[in-house]
Structure 1
Amino acid sequence: MIGYISQRLTGEVTIMSSDRDYLQLVSDKVTVYSPTKKKFYDHDLVLTEFGVSPNNFLTQKILLGDSGDNVPGVKGLGSKTMLKHFPELAKDDLITLDDILQRCEGKQKILESIKNFEFQLRINQRLMDLKNPNIPEEALEEINNVLLNPFKVYDSQKFLTLYHEDELGNSIQNVQSWLFNHFHNLQKYK
């Protein structure tokens, strides 16, 4: 839902997450703040750290998989090998899974491995694509309603209640201190 919402908000958007999956959403208006690395990921930082443009971050994840999410990648394919065979992933032009598969036809062994892994890669794409999430129609209506009628007041107590109800555990270290020191800053985004 974060991907869906971030694309529909007007103005600049900052997503706060240490999950690298969100880097596929980075654009001119979307940055990702990693609280663990204390970095704001924009186009240039994604390119510098991962060797691919944010436009192609999803394609990279589809090919390499994600061990943290238990999503398998192509056996024998790592970042360096991938970039050696597909240096265009560093450019801003969108390179899709179909583009990659087309370039693999009748080529070297690793490229054949990619082609032979197509079924799993299609599953990876559906699992990892945050720009085109599969959200039920009722949920989309509710999300769009919230986007059209944004909150006017930020209630830190309500936030704390929802934080505990949703069992978010220690996703925010010392949540009470965070609320005291940072939550009031949300007022400027009204």
Structure 2
Amino acid sequence: MHVIRLDRVEADDVLAYLCQRFDQDQKIIASGDKDFFQMLNEKTIIYCPSKKILKTKLDCVSEFGVHPNNFALAKALTGDKSDNIKGISGLGFKTLVKLFPTFKDEQKIKLSEVFDLCAKKENESPKFPSILSQKDLVILNFDLVQLENTIMGIQNIERIKNVLDQEVSFTQTALRLKLLHDGLLSIGQSFFDTMLSLSCRVPKR
């Protein structure tokens, strides 16, 4: 299994770079970190090892009411106690979706569009002026949580490429063996397709 370790680079930044580089390939992210929800699409799904559940982009919409394309911005507004990210007080995902219904759509929303809408509807909800008064916090949060524009540096990118150029047998990865042991993967079947087909029957807790 390929193992990539880079000094002073977050693991989620490396994974985000790999997802972008292999955007046309089928990918499975093994993690329980919700930050990766923003990476979900037709080619990328998430396997949560601790809960043995799969997440697709449809799960993101049904669970949070937010499309993966807008998940980072949503988190920048709502914050995340588990990551020690302070958001707008009293603003959770449910309230966010009521104020900004388009967050559930595939079209990516810009920060400027959120601020413009808040200015136009400032008198319709106390949350709108609250967001406007904390622009700097929202912008800072977004820079922290978004994985689309990660800065890896040329040297780090070259190190990643060198690791990827090495041959490896993916059938021996710890993740694949764990899935086989858990009965979530059948030998000889497509890894990605098997997981997608199992997403309907894997028990959710």
Q: Normalised by the shorter chain, which TM-score bucket?
A: 0.7 to 0.9
Unmatched tracts of structure 1, length 5 or more: 161-171
* Displacement of 1:30: 0.8
Could you say if the C-alpha distance between residues 12 and 74 of structure 1 is closer, same or farther in structure 2, counting changes exceeding 3 Å? same
Whether 2:20 is the aligned partner of 1:7: answer yes
* 1: CA distance, partners of 2:171 / 2:42: 30
The one of 152, 166, 169 equivalent to 2:168 is 152
* 2: CA distance, partners of 1:65 / 1:40: 24
2:51 maps to 37
Work out the number of aligned pairs and report it. 167
1:87 maps to 101
Letter matched to residue 168 of structure 2: K
Relative CO higher for 1 or 2, CA cutoff 8 Å, sep ≥ 6?
Answer: 2
SS in 2 for 1:105: helix
- What is the alpha-carbon root mean square deviation over aligned residues? 2.6
* 1: CA distance, partners of 2:109 / 2:179: 41
Give the helix-richer structure, 1 or 2: 1
Could you say if the C-alpha distance between residues 43 and 144 of structure 1 is closer, same or farther in structure 2, counting changes exceeding 3 Å? same
* 2: CA distance, partners of 1:74 / 1:18: 24
* Displacement of 1:153: 3.9
* 1: CA distance, partners of 2:171 / 2:109: 43
Alignment of 1:116-155 (within 5 A): 116-147=133-164, 149-153=165-169
What is the TM-score with the length of structure 2 in the denominator?
0.72
1:105-133 Cα offsets, whole Å, 9 max, x none, are 15132111111111111111111111221
Alignment of 1:56-135 (within 5 A): 56-106=70-120, 107-108=122-123, 109-135=126-152
1:19 maps to 33
SS in 1 for 2:163: helix
* 1: CA distance, partners of 2:54 / 2:178: 19
Could you say if the C-alpha distance between residues 60 and 134 of structure 1 is closer, same or farther in structure 2, counting changes exceeding 3 Å? same
Could you say if the C-alpha distance between residues 104 and 153 of structure 1 is closer, same or farther in structure 2, counting changes exceeding 3 Å? same
* 2: CA distance, partners of 1:93 / 1:154: 34
Letter matched to residue 32 of structure 2: S
What is the TM-score with the length of structure 1 in the denominator?
0.77
Could you say if the C-alpha distance between residues 48 and 179 of structure 1 is closer, same or farther in structure 2, counting changes exceeding 3 Å? closer
Could you say if the C-alpha distance between residues 72 and 153 of structure 1 is closer, same or farther in structure 2, counting changes exceeding 3 Å? same
Could you say if the C-alpha distance between residues 65 and 150 of structure 1 is closer, same or farther in structure 2, counting changes exceeding 3 Å? farther
